[in-house]
């Protein structure tokens, strides 16, 4: 075994040292390894520690402590579990090429957009980065996989006429109150479902919502929202503390899925494409920027941690770009 070890070193050095230096290296190794035995070393990993499912569980626990939502945690879990299903290796064996082939095949099979593939890449980066930080692996294999470039898409917002049409077609006062609150506050649907009646300050026309990362912020609503919200609450006979509940007994708190379905069906009823709760949020942000609200205040209103996220809304209205061009450039 010693001779093999010496020969491997000599082969590695033969391109950078001359014959005389090689002889000196050979003699030095023979003298240093005299009376010593070298054997193949195979690291003994603890199967319990390096079990993929257990490492994933530990990772998810760490993300939960950091304040990730249940929805995000489920997405992390399902995405990484799918990787383990396709690549039947332990995390220490998964290479950069394994991940590249996986992402490429995933895109071909699922016909996924570049944005979706980059979201998966970011999840892998977070997971393997955590494994590296926790010393389960030496180096993250995602380091050499760069961000997936994708063209920026201009996302639609709701027009004033469309919002009025949605209001006119609400058959339930509850749905009207929902539409009003979403359009006037720009809150996330996840924030909406967590609201309780006690959270609403009708006098100041404001309420505190619990956003991403369990961070609280104040949002504000207009007089029209106040009127319809009060009418809705006065019409209720249940004792539930939730702000929005199901129409049928036992009048349980509405879920995100229930609100998304209700809003989507309302949009279909009005022949308006792709109506969903987040579209109200995007519309509010765009209108606020169009009317001159400072970007920092819009960021605060929406609860964005990074202002770059808010800036995505600043260029939605191409008409404003045209007007600005004529004003400042001619």
Specify the long-range contacts of residues 304-310, CB closer than 8 Å, at least 24 apart: 305/212, 305/213, 310/285
Q: Could you say which DSSP state residue 153 is in?
A: P
Instruction: Decide: 220 and 185 in contact? Cβ < 8 Å.
Output: yes
Q: Which residues are catalytic?
A: 188, 212, 278, 281, 304, 313
Instruction: Decide: 279 and 158 in contact? Cβ < 8 Å.
Output: yes
Q: In terms of DSSP H, where are the helices of the chain?
A: 2-13, 19-32, 47-50, 52-65, 70-86, 96-110, 114-133, 160-168, 173-185, 189-194, 223-235, 256-269, 277-290, 295-302, 307-311, 318-328
**43's tokens:** 């690291």
CA distances from 88 to 30, 83, 93, 144 (A): 42, 8, 9, 21
Residue 110's CB: how many other CB atoms inside 10 A? 10
Going by C-alpha positions, the residue among 191, 194, 181, 183 that lies closest to residue 303 is: 191
Instruction: Decide: 290 and 320 in contact? Cβ < 8 Å.
Output: yes
Residue 6's CB: how many other CB atoms inside 10 A? 18
**125's tokens:** 């980066």
Within 8 A by CB and 6+ apart from 212, the residues are 67, 69, 188, 303, 305
């Amino acid at each position: 075994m010693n001779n093999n070890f010496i020969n491997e070193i000599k082969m590695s050095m033969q391109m950078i040292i001359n014959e005389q230096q090689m002889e000196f290296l050979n003699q030095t190794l023979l003298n240093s390894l005299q009376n010593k035995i070298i054997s193949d070393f195979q690291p003994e990993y603890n199967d319990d520690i390096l079990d993929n499912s257990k490492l994933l569980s530990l990772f998810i626990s760490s993300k939960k402590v950091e304040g990730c939502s249940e929805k995000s945690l489920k997405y992390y879990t399902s995405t990484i579990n799918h990787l383990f299903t396709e690549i039947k290796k332990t995390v220490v064996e998964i290479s950069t090429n394994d991940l590249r082939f996986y992402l490429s095949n995933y895109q071909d099979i699922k016909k996924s957009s570049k944005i979706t593939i980059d979201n998966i890449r970011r999840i892998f980066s977070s997971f393997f980065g955590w494994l590296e930080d926790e010393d389960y692996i030496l180096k993250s294999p995602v380091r050499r996989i760069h961000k997936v470039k994708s063209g920026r898409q201009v996302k639609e917002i709701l027009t004033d006429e469309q919002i009025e049409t949605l209001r006119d077609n609400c058959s339930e006062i509850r749905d009207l109150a929902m539409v009003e609150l979403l359009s006037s506050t720009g809150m996330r649907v996840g924030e909406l479902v967590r609201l309780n009646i006690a959270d609403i300050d009708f006098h100041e026309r404001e309420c505190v919502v619990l956003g991403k990362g369990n961070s609280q912020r104040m949002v504000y609503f207009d007089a029209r929202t106040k009127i319809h919200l009060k009418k809705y609450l006065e019409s209720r006979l249940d004792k539930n503390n939730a702000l929005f509940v199901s129409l049928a007994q036992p009048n349980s708190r509405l879920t995100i899925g229930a609100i998304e379905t209700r809003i989507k069906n309302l949009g279909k009823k009005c022949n308006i494409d792709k109506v969903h709760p987040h579209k109200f949020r995007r519309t509010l942000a765009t209108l606020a920027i169009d009317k001159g609200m400072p970007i920092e205040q819009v960021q605060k209103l929406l609860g964005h941690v990074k202002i770059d996220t808010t800036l995505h809304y600043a260029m939605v209205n191409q008409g404003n770009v045209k007007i600005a061009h004529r004003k400042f450039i001619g």
